[in-house]
Amino acid sequence: MAAAPATSTYGPSAPPANMFDTFPGYEGTVAGGGGGYLPPPMPAPMPVPERAPSSPDWHIPSISEDQAREAFSTYVSSKCCYGSAPVREGVITSMESFNTYRYRLETFLESRSTEWSQEPYAGQAVDAGVQPAPGPWLIAAQTPAFFQEHKQTIKVPYTSSVKKPCWVCNGSGYRHSDDRCTHCNGRGRENCSSCSGNGFCQCDTCRGKRQLLVFINLTVKWSTEKDDFIAQDSSGLRVENLGKVSGKELYKDAQYMVYPLRGFPDVAVAQASERLVGDHQVKYAQTSRILQQRQTIELIPITKVNYMWKGKSYVYYVFGNEFKVNADDYPDTCCCSVM
């Protein structure tokens, strides 16, 4: 173990604000907390479509009674407290199909933020001042496939410099141990496992190198912001159930910036498209760069099944491509517990 340093202070937990050089475009960068998301270059104007989207097939898919019974049986068998008698004995009296549209807008974004970072100095290149640092949005980054989440950290060129001494250990390479013990048979302390009782251990920040290389790190984050709108229907099924299923895709449009829908049969869907496209522009274009947008419309099939059992009427719903079932008023349930 090398000789212990003369100083007994830990030093500040972060570098003083005036310790770092200022680089144009990075004035708001701070240590540890980042500089916040950096505004991107001005976005291109929103494109205007040459023509309205063609009308797709609005056919409502229907299911048979056998399919409805099979879906109902699968649902009931998955419930430990549900008896199977209504499935076996129930008589279907009517089945109704409903149109339910789900509009979805996805915006794929690139966001950039910066923060000062450091690492022990062991002879790495020092390039601060060699030439101006490139702006945060001029640094090349490898964009992933559209709509895939990813994050990349890049050391900003021409921002690296050596700071002496390390502000944590004051250039000694060591930090004081303070593992005092009140149960040491009167010795007043017990040996620290890190420093073997010498009272000092290697500085974790500079790893004993006594100097730090400080530089700006750029964090590039790709993310997808998504909003859904489900048109109201008169089936009686709660909207939250539809978030668990997929539907028949009727329309899909993906480009740099999508244009709000025009001429859709359901006016509420067209209005939702207009609103959400505008909202995404306002919410995200100021702090992130929009790389791609995608809007889709799905028709989610809902079949309302009315049936009789023991002289009373009941209802269950079969919905989505997965034939999910909802039966809030199932008539043959019991309470059970796991011992």
**Each residue's pLDDT tens digit, 256-286:** 999 998 888 889 999 999 999 999 999 998 8
Closest Cα to residue 327, out of 308, 301, 304, 300? 304
Asked whether the predicted pLDDT for residue 196 surpasses 60, the reply is no
Return d(Cα 110, Cα 143) in angstroms, integer.
9
74 within a domain of the structure (yes/no): yes
Task: Please tell me the least confidently modeled range out of 7-16, 72-81, 118-127, 245-254.
Answer: 7-16
Asked whether the predicted pLDDT for residue 178 surpasses 70, the reply is no
pLDDT for 45 = 63
Task: Please tell me the least confidently modeled range out of 7-16, 121-130, 246-255, 308-317.
Answer: 7-16
Asked whether the predicted pLDDT for residue 57 surpasses 60, the reply is no
Mean pLDDT over 93-100 rounds to 92
Domains: count for the chain: 1
79 within a domain of the structure (yes/no): yes
Asked whether the predicted pLDDT for residue 154 surpasses 50, the reply is yes
> What pLDDT band is residue 60 in, cutting at 50, 70 and 90?
low
Q: Which residues pair with 324 in a beta bridge?
A: 319
User: Taking the CA of residue 131 as centre, how many other CA atoms within 13 Å lie in the half-sphere pointing to its CB?
Assistant: 3
Asked whether the predicted pLDDT for residue 98 surpasses 80, the reply is yes
pLDDT for 199 = 56
Closest Cα to residue 79, out of 291, 280, 326? 326
Q: How far is CA 29 from CA 23, 41, 120, 125, in A?
A: 9, 18, 20, 21
Mean pLDDT over 48-60 rounds to 54
| Chain Cα centroid distance, residue 91 | 46
pLDDT for 10 = 32
Q: Helix (H, G, I), strand (E, B), or coil: what is residue 225?
A: strand
Q: Which residue has the higher pLDDT, 135 or 181?
A: 135
Backbone angles phi, psi at 153, to 5 degrees: -115, 130
298 within a domain of the structure (yes/no): yes
151 within a domain of the structure (yes/no): no
Backbone angles phi, psi at 119, to 5 degrees: -150, 155
Mean pLDDT over 94-111 rounds to 94
Return d(Cα 72, Cα 75) in angstroms, integer.
5
DSSP classification of residue 158: T
Q: Which residue has the higher pLDDT, 187 or 280?
A: 280
Asked whether the predicted pLDDT for residue 71 surpasses 70, the reply is yes
Asked whether the predicted pLDDT for residue 179 surpasses 60, the reply is no
- Residue 45 has a CB neighbour count (10 Å cut-off) of 7
251 within a domain of the structure (yes/no): yes
Return d(Cα 19, Cα 59) in angstroms, integer.
68
Q: Which residue has the higher pLDDT, 68 or 192?
A: 68
Q: Helix (H, G, I), strand (E, B), or coil: what is residue 92?
A: strand
285 within a domain of the structure (yes/no): yes
Asked whether the predicted pLDDT for residue 330 surpasses 80, the reply is yes
What range does the domain containing 92 cover? 65-106+223-326
**Average pLDDT across the chain, whole number:** 82
> What pLDDT band is residue 315 in, cutting at 50, 70 and 90?
very high
Asked whether the predicted pLDDT for residue 221 surpasses 60, the reply is yes
Prediction pTM value:
0.76
5 within a domain of the structure (yes/no): no
Q: How far is CA 173 from CA 87, 208, 243, in A?
A: 76, 4, 57
Q: Which residue has the higher pLDDT, 201 or 296?
A: 296
Task: Please tell me the least confidently modeled range out of 33-47, 74-88, 126-140, 233-247.
Answer: 33-47
Q: Which residues pair with 30 in a beta bridge?
A: none
pLDDT for 135 = 92
**How many Å from the N-terminal Cα to the C-terminal Cα in the chain?**
60
70 within a domain of the structure (yes/no): yes
> What pLDDT band is residue 166 in, cutting at 50, 70 and 90?
confident
Task: Please tell me the least confidently modeled range out of 129-133, 170-174, 257-261, 323-327.
Answer: 170-174
